[in-house]
Structure 1
Amino acid sequence: MSAEFRDFQTLKSTGRILRLREKDFCFLCPFLFKGRFLSREETRDFDTGRNFPFWGITFRDAGDMKFPPETGIQQENRKNLYTVLGLDGPGAGYPLRVKLVHSKKVFYCSQKKGTFPENLGEGDGIICSPDSGIPFVTCADCMPVYVYDVVNSNRAVFHSGWRGTGIVSTGIALMKEKTTPENLAVVIGPHIRDCCYRVDKNRAEYFAGNFTPSAVKFRDGNYYLSLLEANLFLLAQSGIPEENILVFDECTSCNPLWGSFRREGPENFTRMAAFIL
C-alpha cells in the first residue's frame, strides 16, 4: 500500500474549514492511520481516551503569521488565529512556537504546559505531549510535516525547507525513543512542488547524492527539486509504513490559496501557520 495523495478539493469533506469575518481562515483535517482517517469523535481502545487531534494550516487570506511578529498586522493575524482556534480564553491550549532558522534543530517538550516558554527559541521543529501545548511552525513554500503518535498521543510539527531537509529523521528518531514507527501517522503538508521548484545544479546534485536521485527532475535544460521525494525517502528510512502517510497534494507556488515565497516575492510573502490541535 502506498502513501495516500489527496488535494484540497478531495480533502475538504474529510476535514473542516474555520472562518473569520466571512473569510476562510484555516483548514483542519484528521490524520491517516493504517489507511483510514482517524475521526476525532471515535473511541479508542488503545489509548487514554483523548480525542484524536487535527493537523491544521492557515490559508493565505488569513494573513502573514510570522513569528516573532515584526509588525502590528502580523501580531493581529496571530491573535485572530488563536481566536479562531479557541486558544484565547481561560484554560485554553498553550501555543508552543519557534523562531525558524532553516535547521534540523527540534525541541522536545514533555512536561505540562507553562513549564516551557511559548517562544522556545531558534529551531525548526517541536515535539510535545498533549499536556505540554500546541506546536506551531510557519511555512511559505517550505514543507510542513506533521507527526502523531496514536499510542501515547505525542505530536510534532517540523518545518522542512531545502536546508533543513533531514529534520524529519531527527524528529522521528526522538519520537521513536518512546514508541515504534508503526504507531506514527504522518502528514506532508502543502509546499512548493517539482513543477515549480527550479534549482541550480549544485543543489540538485546535493539532493540526489544525500537523499535520493528521484528528488531531482531534469526537464527543458533545468533542474527541479522534489522535497516530497526526499522526505518520502527519509520517512521510509525511518520505518514509517506507507499506509500511515498522507500527502496533501498541493503546490504552494501554483495555487494562490496558499502562501508562497517564490510566487509572492521576498518583500511581501505570506507565512502560513502549521499546527496540531
Structure 2
Amino acid sequence: MAEPNVISVSESVSPSDEFALFPFFSCGRPVPGAVWGMSLLRAGSMRFRWNERNDNRKKIIDFVSSAVGNSRKMALSPVELVHSKKVVESSVAGDTEGIVADGIVTKNPSVVPVVTVADCVPIFLYDPKTGAVGALHSGWKGTGIAAEGVSMMADKFGSDAGSLLAAIGPHIGGCCYNIDRDRAGFFAGTFGKTCVSEKNGGFFLSLTEANLAVLRSAGIRDENITVSSDCTCCSSFPDGSPVFGSFRRQSAPLPPTVTADERSRAMTVQSALAFLFPF
C-alpha cells in the first residue's frame, strides 16, 4: 500500500538559511515543474495585514526571483488571513488586493501565492498537467480548507484530484499541541481517531493526520502527498536553537494581561508559498 512521502525541513537547512524550498513528490520521487517552501525563523517576521507595511516581506520576492533567475518576472499574491476555509483564484498579480481569505490558487507562472503561518498548517497543491499551484493556510478552525483548494482547482483549471500533488509543510506537531477535551472530541469525530492521542491525562492533536484525512477524502492519493515531519514549536538545530517561528513557543512566556495583538506580534510569522520552477 502506498504511503505519503516524508521529509524533514529542519534536517535539510542550516542555521544561516532564511528560506527552504522543496519539490513535490510522488512515490518517493521528486516531480519537476513546481516547488513549495517557507521562510524560517532567521528571516524574521513575515506578518501581513493590508493596513500595515512590513518591509521584511521584500525578502520573499527577492528569494523567489533569485531562485527563478531571469526566466520570468515574479510577483507575490497574498491574502489577509481570517482562519476560514475560503480559497480565491489569482489570475494576475495584484488581483487579491484587499481580499481576506486563507488560500490562493493560480495558473499564472508569474504569480506566487503566499500565505503566512506560525504553528498553523501550510498546505500546498500542484497540478503537473495544468501547471496550477496553490498555497493554503489551515488553522485548526480552518481544517478542511485543503478540500476547498482541491475543489477550486477542479472548478477553475479542470484539475483531477487523482493527478494532484500535495504537501503538508511544517506546523506544530502532536508532540506539542495539547488541546482540551471538547476540541479532541470534535477532531476525533470529524477527521478520525488517529489525529488525537491521550498522554499523561491530556489530549494532543496531530494536524498532520487531520489534514491527511481531508486530502484523502478529496481524492488525492497517498503516494502524491508529501508530509513534513517537523514541529514548528520544538524542532531545533544541533545547537538547540529553534528553526521556526512558533506562536505557542514564543507567546508562552508572556503574562496573561498581554493583549491578543501584542501576543500576535511576539511570534515570528513565516511565509509559505508555491510557484512553478522547472528544477
Query: What's the TM-score bracket when you normalise by the shorter of the two chains?
Result: 0.7 to 0.9
- Give the CA RMSD over aligned residues: 2.2
Instruction: Indicate the residue corresponding to 1:77 in structure 2.
Output: 56
Q: Does 1:192 align with 2:193?
A: no
Decide whether the 8 Å contact of 2:5 with 2:26 is kept in 1.
no
Instruction: Indicate the residue corresponding to 2:6 in structure 1.
Output: 5
Instruction: Indicate the residue corresponding to 1:36 in structure 2.
Output: 29
| Higher relative contact order, chain-length normalized (CA < 8 Å, sep 6+) | 2
Aligned-partner SS, 1:86: helix
Provide the C-alpha distance between the structure 2 equivalents of 1:84 and 1:2, rounded to a whole number of angstroms: 32
Q: CA deviation at 1:187?
A: 0.6
Match for 2:194: what amino acid? S
Match for 2:21: what amino acid? L
Provide the C-alpha distance between the structure 1 equivalents of 2:59 and 2:218, rounded to a whole number of angstroms: 37
**1:17-96 alignment to 2 at 5 Å?**
23-39=16-32, 52-68=33-49, 75-86=54-65, 92-96=73-77
> Which of 160, 167, 182 in structure 1 is aligned with 2:138?
160
Q: Which runs of 5+ in 1 are unaligned?
A: 40-51
Q: Does 1:263 align with 2:274?
A: no
Q: Which runs of 5+ in 2 are unaligned?
A: 236-241, 252-262
Provide the C-alpha distance between the structure 2 equivalents of 1:271 and 1:106, rounded to a whole number of angstroms: 20
Provide the C-alpha distance between the structure 1 equivalents of 2:202 and 2:52, rounded to a whole number of angstroms: 38
Decide whether the 8 Å contact of 1:97 with 1:120 is kept in 2.
no
* Greater than 3 Å deviation, 4+ residue runs: 9-12, 69-72
Is the deviation greater in 163-172 or in 129-138?
Answer: 129-138
Is the deviation greater in 92-101 or in 123-132?
Answer: 123-132
Instruction: Indicate the residue corresponding to 1:101 in structure 2.
Output: 82
Give a deviation string over 1:204-244, Cα, whole Å, max 9, x none.
11111111111111110001111111111111111111111
Q: CA deviation at 1:26?
A: 0.3
Instruction: Indicate the residue corresponding to 1:236 in structure 2.
Output: 216
Q: CA deviation at 1:29?
A: 1.1
Q: Does 1:246 align with 2:226?
A: yes
Provide the C-alpha distance between the structure 2 equivalents of 1:10 and 1:224, rounded to a whole number of angstroms: 24
Q: CA deviation at 1:11?
A: 4.7
Q: Do the aligned partners of residues 216 and 10 (structure 1) sit closer, same or farther apart at CA in structure 2, a change above 3 Å counting?
A: same
Provide the C-alpha distance between the structure 2 equivalents of 1:70 and 1:119, rounded to a whole number of angstroms: 11
Decide whether the 8 Å contact of 1:104 with 1:167 is kept in 2.
yes
Name the % identity. 36
Provide the C-alpha distance between the structure 2 equivalents of 1:119 and 1:34, rounded to a whole number of angstroms: 37
Provide the C-alpha distance between the structure 1 equivalents of 2:10 and 2:181, rounded to a whole number of angstroms: 35
Decide whether the 8 Å contact of 2:121 with 2:137 is kept in 1.
yes
Aligned-partner SS, 1:165: coil
What TM-score does the superposition give when structure 1 sets the normalisation length?
0.84
Instruction: Indicate the residue corresponding to 1:43 in structure 2.
Output: none
Q: Does 1:134 align with 2:137?
A: no
Provide the C-alpha distance between the structure 1 equivalents of 2:161 and 2:140, rounded to a whole number of angstroms: 24
Give a deviation string over 1:91-118, Cα, whole Å, max 9, x none.
6212100000000000022x3x24x435
Q: How many residues align?
A: 251
